Structure 1
Amino acid sequence: MEFRYLVSFLAIAEELHFGRAAARLHLAQPSLSQQLQRLEREVGVELVSRTSHEVRLTPAGEAFRKEAERLVGQAARAVEAAKAAAQGRSGTVSVGFNFPAGLSVLPPTLARLAADHPKVQAQLWERRSGPQVEALLNDELDVGFVYGRPRTAQLESRELLSLPVVAVVAPRHPWARRESISMLELGERPCVLFRRGQSPAMHDAIVHAAARAGTELVVAEEVDDPLATAVVVAARPLLGFASAARAVRAGSQGLVAVALTGPVPRLNLYAAWRAGDTSPVLEAFLASLAASGPFTWREPDPEPGPDRLSPAS
């Protein structure tokens, strides 16, 4: 059964006049009549009753009309879905992110995406930078928000903002009441660090800042998960590290955030995606990201008192 026969039949059913239906379809009236006859032969019943005074649907035609409208409507929706996907107006973009991105970058970006491309959905995955880069290279993510520019030609990136690394300790730690800790002093106390592969840029920022200050970290434990790091730091007299964004917002751990100085380790946040990826949904997401910037990290005003608890993990 040819699709055009269904379209012609529906025009006749709506107009109940062969001349008007033919004009609407830009067909000659004899051609329209032939299409109806072929359709009726295929269906095996009369669908339209026509006299010199009246054109009407038969009971079979009324039943056939409902299903024909459903089929033609589905075809139209299929065409629209294909066009929307090709233009980046529908589909799913898989997004990896870390804490600062989730705090400062994603909310305005997703709001803009929803406004400009309401049928594009974002699936979000919180991961450290190393696993995000691996997932991007394995086509598991479309875009990631990571620390440090990815050092591979397979990925493109865009710098978004810069923020410092701080130390985090339990309230009973000897340094909990300090306003700041110099990097040189880190060689005097054991710390918790993560494996470099989890977040190379953050790892290097901390280790290299200590080296520039003339010391070396005393790593008592390697813990990769940020929440587990907070638990270990809360339970033992160890020093941990966090981005300033996480240190300000993760209050449930009840830890103290202390500034690092001399020099201050800093992190640059990047958006990264596969080089040459021209998928419409990715382009829609990146356009929303660009329209939502620029992004900046503003350190919060310090609260009075040396006993201020600043959350971290």
Structure 2
Amino acid sequence: MAGVASSRIQLRHLTCFVAVAQERNLGRAAQRLHLTQPAVTKTLNELEQMAGMRLVERGRHGARLTPAGEYFLGHASAAVDAMTSAARALVAPGVPSVPVRVGALPTVASVLLPKAISQLHETYPELGVHVVTGVNDALLEGIRAGDLDLVVGRMTDPDVLQGIDFELLYTESLALVVRPEHPLTAFVEPVPMPRVLEFPLVVATTGTVPRRHTEVFLRRHGLTLPSGCVETLDVSVARTLARRSDSVWFTPERVPQTDLDDGTLVRLPQSAPGTAEPVGLFRRTSEAAAGVETLAGILRRLAAV
């Protein structure tokens, strides 16, 4: 898309393309842009003619990006975001107005994010924040599609991070957490793992990093997960079970920090070497809006404490 072709591409072409890519449907993209569907089709056709290649496959089941379209999306999104930020700066210099869209793993969302959002509002009281929780793959797709500005998650395979930056915040290992009155709190040394498995267990769901670490940890003791485990990524469910029963919660060590601080839960004296996992920030490889940069800076400071 160099030379004369790229010089003819206008913001309306990029805006239309990004809307179609995000909506995966020409009709919904048209509604979002307040255009007719034929107008969206015409604009896409113009863009593809200038590009000299097909960017979007249209069909009865919606619109799907071609490999060339997937590659172009990151550049188009960055251009649209930059123009939007420039326009906002003219209206209210230095004051972000578009809500910050943050994605986070359920086991990460309760750690730093609430305090970070509170501090963000001290700087920008009127700035909205939309928080989405989900699994890593879905959150990274949200970043890639431009639906999320920032994701707090766990490091993943570098092959899937094309166009996405990762910045390490901290690493954390697995912890075993129970209520203070739990029978296992009588142990001052590491509890024999067969004894731990005599109690109900709360573990992460299959396929997640904390679950894999839990299984590896048990295998090192010659054990496997027993039947009857509660499997959940919902921190509130896991926390409540640990507080109100004799369940043992296998969790990344920072997740229950508030409960540990106020004494409603305690950590068993078990070490879990080899289960450390990097947690950090994911963003598109482009300049972010002021609110996003401010929130990222707050998260860095909190993680360092």
Give the letter aligned to residue 164 of structure 1. S
Does the C-alpha gap of structure 1 residues 93 and 212 become closer, same or farther in structure 2, counting only changes over 3 Å? same
Q: Deviations over 1:260-311 (max 9, x none)?
A: 21536333211123x44x3642x6523652476355466xxxxxxxxxxxxx
Give the letter aligned to residue 173 of structure 2. P
- Aligned residue for 1:293, secondary structure, equals helix
Does the C-alpha gap of structure 1 residues 196 and 92 become closer, same or farther in structure 2, counting only changes over 3 Å? same
Q: Deviations over 1:120-179 (max 9, x none)?
A: 543234556566445445654321111333652354321101233321224454313334
- Determine the structure 2 residue equivalent to 1:21: none
Alignment of 1:189-208 (within 5 A): 189=198, 190-197=200-207, 200-208=208-216
- Aligned residue for 2:247, secondary structure, equals coil
The CA distance in 2 between the partners of 1:148 and 1:183, in whole Å, is 31
- Determine the structure 2 residue equivalent to 1:96: 103
Contact kept, 8 Å, 1:104 with 1:295, in 2: the verdict is: yes
Contact kept, 8 Å, 2:178 with 2:243, in 1: the verdict is: yes
- Determine the structure 1 residue equivalent to 2:166: 157
Percent of aligned pairs with the same residue? 14
Contact kept, 8 Å, 1:86 with 1:280, in 2: the verdict is: no
- How many equivalent residue pairs? 214
The CA distance in 1 between the partners of 2:102 and 2:192, in whole Å, is 34
The structure 2 residue matched to 1:177, chosen from 174, 186, 201, is: 186
Does the C-alpha gap of structure 1 residues 102 and 220 become closer, same or farther in structure 2, counting only changes over 3 Å? closer
Contact kept, 8 Å, 1:88 with 1:280, in 2: the verdict is: no
Kindly report the root-mean-square deviation, in angstroms, between the aligned alpha carbons of the 2 structures.
4.2
- Aligned residue for 2:273, secondary structure, equals coil
Contact kept, 8 Å, 1:109 with 1:292, in 2: the verdict is: no
- Aligned residue for 1:260, secondary structure, equals coil
- Determine the structure 1 residue equivalent to 2:249: 240
1:141 aligns with 2:151: no
Give the letter aligned to residue 170 of structure 2. L
Alignment of 1:2-41 (within 5 A): none
Q: Deviations over 1:213-254 (max 9, x none)?
A: 443232522332222223334455432123333323137894
The CA distance in 1 between the partners of 2:206 and 2:130, in whole Å, is 27
Give the letter aligned to residue 210 of structure 1. L
Unpaired runs of 5+ in structure 1? 1-78, 299-313
1:289 aligns with 2:291: no
- Aligned residue for 2:270, secondary structure, equals strand
Contact kept, 8 Å, 1:146 with 1:272, in 2: the verdict is: yes
Which has the higher Rg, Structure 1 or Structure 2? 1
- Determine the structure 2 residue equivalent to 1:271: 281
Return the structure number with greater strand share.
1
Q: Deviations over 1:87-112 (max 9, x none)?
A: 88442220123565654466457746
The CA distance in 1 between the partners of 2:148 and 2:112, in whole Å, is 20
1:122 aligns with 2:139: no
1:83 aligns with 2:90: yes
The CA distance in 2 between the partners of 1:84 and 1:102, in whole Å, is 35
- Determine the structure 1 residue equivalent to 2:259: 250
Does the C-alpha gap of structure 1 residues 137 and 259 become closer, same or farther in structure 2, counting only changes over 3 Å? farther
- Determine the structure 2 residue equivalent to 1:261: 271
Does the C-alpha gap of structure 1 residues 295 and 201 become closer, same or farther in structure 2, counting only changes over 3 Å? farther
Give the letter aligned to residue 230 of structure 2. E
Contact kept, 8 Å, 1:229 with 1:240, in 2: the verdict is: yes
Q: Deviations over 1:163-215 (max 9, x none)?
A: 33321224454313334546854774352212134xx2222232223334443
Give 4+ residue runs of structure 1 displaced > 6 Å after superposition.
85-88
Unpaired runs of 5+ in structure 2? 1-85
- Determine the structure 2 residue equivalent to 1:227: 236
